[in-house]
Amino acid sequence: MSDLPHFGPEFTWGVSTASYQIEGAVDEDGRGRSIWDEFSHTPGRVKDGDTGDVACDHYHRYRDDVALMADLGVDAYRFSISWPRIQPDGVRVEPRGLDFYDRLVDTLLEHGIEPSATLFHWDSPLALEADGGWENRDIAERFAEYARIVGERLSDRVTRWFTLNETVIFTLLGHGTGIHAPGKELGFGALQVAWHQLLAHGRSVQALRAAGARQVGPANNHTQVRPIDDSEASRDAAGLFDLIYNRAFLDPILLKSWPLAGIVDPVAQDGDLDLIAQPIDFLGINSYNPQYIGAAEPGAAIPFDMVTPEGLEYNDFGWPIIPDGFTQMLTGLKETYGDALPPILITENGGAFNETPGDDGRVRDQRRIDYTAAHLAALREAMDAGVDVRGYFHWSFMDNFEWAEGYSQRFGLTWVDYATQQRLPKDSFAWYRSVIDAQRAG
């Protein structure tokens, strides 16, 4: 489209989803129970008692969904593999689970779409929780074995591999505050879980490469951190938040260092940082908005306050819409890591805009179009400033189970009627298709 900058012929255009959010079929073909099955079936954990039992029924409808992606015109599809489909008890291999992803990958290739697989998007086998789950260092070896199994089956056809998705969110919400599965409230003790995820990342990079994977990297969540005011207390609080949220999950991989040394130190062994800092081919970045931080009240449990300023535009999830924060997050990473920063793929970006079909069956989600256009322009600004970005994956291809919010928030380019499983491309679907077409036309 003429009002958007050009991204070049090699730029990858894609969409993203995650297994528990779309697949359903939780009791089929030998799949084991995941921590999200347990969590969502626990009263009071998920809004309206929603679960991912059916979700978008993608397990049965994947062929139609891939055909719709082909109509959208994307180059690549980022999906996640359900660990409990592959190893229902965390140990035994279930061939029918591997067969499903075989079929999905082949169907994508038949439509000219690059399979881009995420090994872990938060749905670990529930059976591993009996041994402590991600609090147990041994899970890194379990994860490496899982990576080997999947890699040996699919790496001949998968274009790019993402190891773990949003380690910071899984750490802080799943293990720090208990808002997400597995619902643990460890406070800063959750950073030990972060360390084990970093180890699992390193071991899975090794396993995937040994299995023949061509491109491997993590998919991290990063945000620009903004002090709410210019006071020293707010600046200090924002600096600490940045260390915990951003740098703790990237410094070990890129700089072979732990940025919270002397503040919160994980239980580690000699050689851990060498293992974590495996060479990667790209850095996947999920990002939606900046985070404002203020000083904590005296005696507060955490040493910063996550602030929601007045006077900003927000999406239906209550997240602020600030496109220049996208630019500044990316240029900030370049300033921090310099030549250590690998090429970047934007693996998630989007928003909850909950428009529903009108009487004519059309979903007029202009707010999603405006958000995406503004963030693509902001992305181009970062690229013009020297940040090496090679692709953009919109979150999400279709409406889905939005974790603790259940089905109340809609992020998709495609509207889903959860009662009938009807798919209805929104206005944003047609707009994104036109963007991709225009980029290819030059």
Q: What is the pLDDT of residues 87-109, one digit of tens each?
A: 999 999 999 999 999 999 999 99
* pLDDT at position 301: 82
For 212-258, what is the HEC assignment? CCCCEEEEEECCCEEECCCCHHHHHHHHHHHHHHCHHHCHHHHCCCC
| Catalytic residue list contains 94 | no
Q: Which of 94, 129, 166, 381 is catalytic?
A: 166
The reply to whether 395 sits in an annotated binding site is yes
| Mean of pLDDT values over 15-19 | 98
| Catalytic residue list contains 166 | yes
* pLDDT at position 442: 73
pLDDT band at 314 (very low <50, low <70, confident <90, very high): very high
Give the integer Cα–Cα distance in Å for 265 and 260: 7
- The class (CATH top level) of 12-441 is alpha beta
pLDDT band at 133 (very low <50, low <70, confident <90, very high): very high
* pLDDT at position 1: 47
| Mean of pLDDT values over 224-252 | 97
The reply to whether 402 sits in an annotated binding site is yes
Give the integer Cα–Cα distance in Å for 322 and 319: 9
Segments making up each domain of the chain, as ranges: 12-441
* pLDDT at position 299: 84
Phi and psi angles of residue 326, each rounded to the nearest 5 degrees, phi first: -65, -45
Tokens 């970047």 belong to 344
The reply to whether 403 sits in an annotated binding site is yes
Mean of all residue pLDDT scores within the chain: 97
* pLDDT at position 356: 97
Tokens 């004519």 belong to 360
| Mean of pLDDT values over 305-333 | 96
Give the integer Cα–Cα distance in Å for 357 and 91: 45
Q: Which of 114, 129, 348, 381 is catalytic?
A: 348
The reply to whether 337 sits in an annotated binding site is no
Predicted TM-score (pTM) of the model is 0.98
| Mean of pLDDT values over 249-264 | 97
pLDDT tens profile 135-189: 999 999 999 999 999 999 999 999 999 999 999 999 999 999 999 999 999 999 9
| Mean of pLDDT values over 50-69 | 98
pLDDT tens profile 361-383: 999 999 999 999 999 999 999 99
Residue 69 has pLDDT above 50, yes or no: yes
Residue 421 has pLDDT above 60, yes or no: yes
| Mean of pLDDT values over 275-280 | 98
